[in-house]
A = this chain, B = another copy of it.
Amino acid sequence: MSLPHAILTSLLEKPGSGAELAQRFDKSIGYFWQATHQQIYRELARLEERGLIRSAAREATRGRKRDFAVIPAGLAELERWTSLAQDPQPVRDALLVRLRAAAVIQAGTVQADTARAGILRAELARHRELHQRQLSFYQAVEAHDFAAGSEARAPGTPDHRLQHAVLRAGIMFERAWVSWAEETLRTLEP
């Protein structure tokens, strides 16, 4: 149940149309909650029907831009949702499934399979690179928006600190992935 609330958050920050939201999702909330434009349009329709947002234009016209804004009931819903206790979501990662599968295949193979092991190492190295790139990007954002004496709008305010905490979570994950990949590559060296 996060998508509607992610949309409410983004609209609260700045009203806009479905296409604008889709773009914004590609470069802010989308870093930790993704959505395609189809999901966004569907969700906007539901949010309007539930009376949590309102669009300027009365009727939906295909092709014509339609701006949405959060109305008080929507803000109340967002406040309610953020105050709820929600358990952490368990990890769900395909690479780990693949490693476990590789382990089981290995165990059932009589001879050492060097070709397979090489593919695995290459894949780990590739993931290390991708996570390293994402990490560098997050660090650049941090330097730009959150460093002492930066251009940030309102440094030191509670909301500024919260935004920073979210970014730091991203940094932490990427760092963890990078060092895990390095460590794993070392233990799998030929």
Contacts and interface: CB of A to CB of B under 8 A. Distances in A.
A106 B170 contact: no
Contact of A187 (B33, B34, B131, B165): B165
A47 interface: no
B116 A98 contact: no
Q: In the complex, which range does the number of interface residues on chain A fall in? A: 35 or more
Interface of A is mostly: helix
B117 A31 contact: no
B100 A94 contact: no
Interface string A144-177: 0000000000100111111111101110110111
B184 A180 contact: no
A133 to B, nearest CB: 11
Contact of A88 (B29, B95, B154): B95
A145 to B, nearest CB: 13
